[in-house]
């Protein structure tokens, strides 16, 4: 079995590859996986489809490359943000803020993965494309598991949030991907402040809701 699907070893991208990936991320983000045609991706770079197919086997492979690079950068940032904190609550807070900040920058690539991965899986014909998409899904799951563990560590031991609460928490963080890109041109400090505000709101939700659970059952 060839190990050409090694999910970690992506030594470097060519400038030509990065240009294609940037155009693909932008168009996949705007129009979705099915809505964005490879001709449109190529035209965005002033090129034609032959160039895209020279570097990527299929539309699905291009999709996977976009999201895989985004996950590389995201995981690096999360690891860097979580490392200096030993206190569980501070760790979780830093992770959440770093997660949202990473989504704000790199917005296009993360919209791609969050919204279009199902569509890509349906359109995939080749077996290796399916395998690459499945690897990406597993990577999403393991990434979310890291947050689940951080939440469990930060929450009071007698009232750990359940799976639904964790999913709701993560969706609150990922909600920035759906915000209209109107105020996209904010300063770096603005973005960090926005990320921290969203992270705090989501954190209050999980922790507080789990603390005194099943109290106000009646309206």
Partner DNA sequence: ATTGCGTCATACCGCCGCGTATGTATAGCT
Partner DNA sequence: AGCTATACATACGCGGCGGTATGACGCAAT
- Sign for the CA dihedral angle at 106, 183, 114, 45 comes to negative
Indicate which of a copy of itself, DNA, none lies near residue 59 (CB less than 5 to 8 Å, by partner kind).
DNA
Residue 58 interaction partner, one of a copy of itself, DNA, none, beta carbon < 5-8 Å per kind = DNA
Partner touching 37 among a copy of itself, DNA, none, CB below 5 to 8 Å by kind: DNA
- Is 18 one of the binding residues for DNA (CB under 7 A)? no
Q: Does 88 bind a copy of itself (CB under 8 A)?
A: no
- Residues 120, 61 contacting (CB under 8 angstroms): no
In 3D, which of 118, 6, 11, 128 has the Cα closest to residue 58? 128
Instruction: Tell me the C-alpha distance between 70 and 113, whole Å.
Output: 9
Closer residue to a copy of itself in complex, CB, 69/155 = 155
The distance of closest approach from Cβ of residue 128 to a copy of itself in the complex, given in angstroms and rounded to an integer, is 22
End-to-end CA distance of the chain: 58
**Neighbour-count burial of 76, counting CB atoms closer than 10 A to its CB (0-12 exposed, 13-18 middle, 19+ buried):** exposed
Over the window 151 to 190, marking each residue x when it contacts a copy of itself by CB under 8 A and - when it does not, the resulting string is -------------xx-xxx-xx--x--xx-----------
Site for DNA in 110-129 (CB under 7 A): 123, 125-126
219 binds a copy of itself (CB under 8 A): yes
């Amino acid at each position: 079995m060839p190990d050409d699907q090694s999910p970690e070893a992506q030594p470097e991208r060519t400038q030509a590859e990065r240009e294609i990936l940037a155009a693909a991320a932008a168009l996949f983000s705007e129009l979705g996986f099915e809505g964005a045609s490879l001709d449109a991706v190529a035209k965005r770079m002033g090129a034609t489809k032959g160039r895209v197919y020279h570097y990527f086997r299929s539309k699905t492979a291009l999709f996977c490359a976009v999201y895989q690079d985004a996950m590389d950068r995201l995981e690096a940032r999360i690891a860097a943000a979580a490392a200096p904190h030993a206190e569980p609550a501070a760790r979780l807070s830093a992770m959440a803020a770093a997660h949202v900040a990473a989504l704000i920058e790199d917005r296009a690539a993360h919209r791609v993965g969050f919204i279009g991965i199902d569509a890509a899986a349906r359109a995939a014909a080749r077996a290796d494309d399916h395998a690459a998409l499945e690897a990406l899904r597993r990577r999403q799951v393991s990434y979310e598991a890291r947050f689940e563990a951080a939440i469990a560590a930060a929450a009071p031991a007698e009232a750990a949030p359940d799976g639904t609460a964790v999913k709701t928490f993560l969706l609150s963080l990922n909600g920035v991907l759906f915000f209209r890109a109107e105020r996209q041109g904010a300063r770096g400090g603005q973005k960090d402040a926005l990320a921290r505000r969203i992270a705090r709101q989501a954190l209050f939700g999980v922790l507080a809701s789990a603390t005194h659970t099943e109290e106000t059952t009646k309206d």
